[in-house]
Amino acid sequence: MHDNLPVPDIATLRIAVFAGMAEIAGRRHIELPWDGGTVADARRLVRAAYPALTALLDRSAFAVGSRYVGDDAAIVVGDDVAMIPPVSGG
């Protein structure tokens, strides 16, 4: 590799996790290498990186910012992404 070539930024997607998912993951945010994609792509990466989350992940919604999004929604680095497992408020 040529010394003058810039080192590419390793883009990281940060996803907030809550409640039982945070307990299982042992953290409140998880980070994934990300070069673009959809919520469905993020699901695959989360499942691969945190197999223990699979059961809740399959029953979780995704949110970007303060809105729920479907599996075909695009996610870019810097988005405020969260996984929303089945809720139990009230």
Partner 1 sequence: MATHPAECADDPPGGIVIQRTPIDTATLLAAVADVAAGGNVLFVGTARGVTDGVITKSLAYEAHEPLARKTLEALRLQALARFSLTACGIVHRLGPVAAGEASVAIAASAPHRREAFAAAEWLMERIKADVPIWKSEERDDGGRVWVHPVATARPGGAA
Residues that bind partner 1 (CB under 8 A): 16, 18-20, 23, 56, 59-61, 63, 65-70, 82, 84-90
Alpha-carbon separation of residue 25 from 5, 32, 66 (angstroms): 37, 13, 22
Cβ atoms of 83 and 21 within 8 Å: the answer is yes
Q: 76 is written with which tokens?
A: 């870019």
Comparing CB distances to partner 1, the nearer of 15 and 32 is 15
Q: Name which of 28 and 33 has its Cβ closer to partner 1.
A: 28
User: Which C-beta is closer to partner 1: that of 75 or that of 82?
Assistant: 82
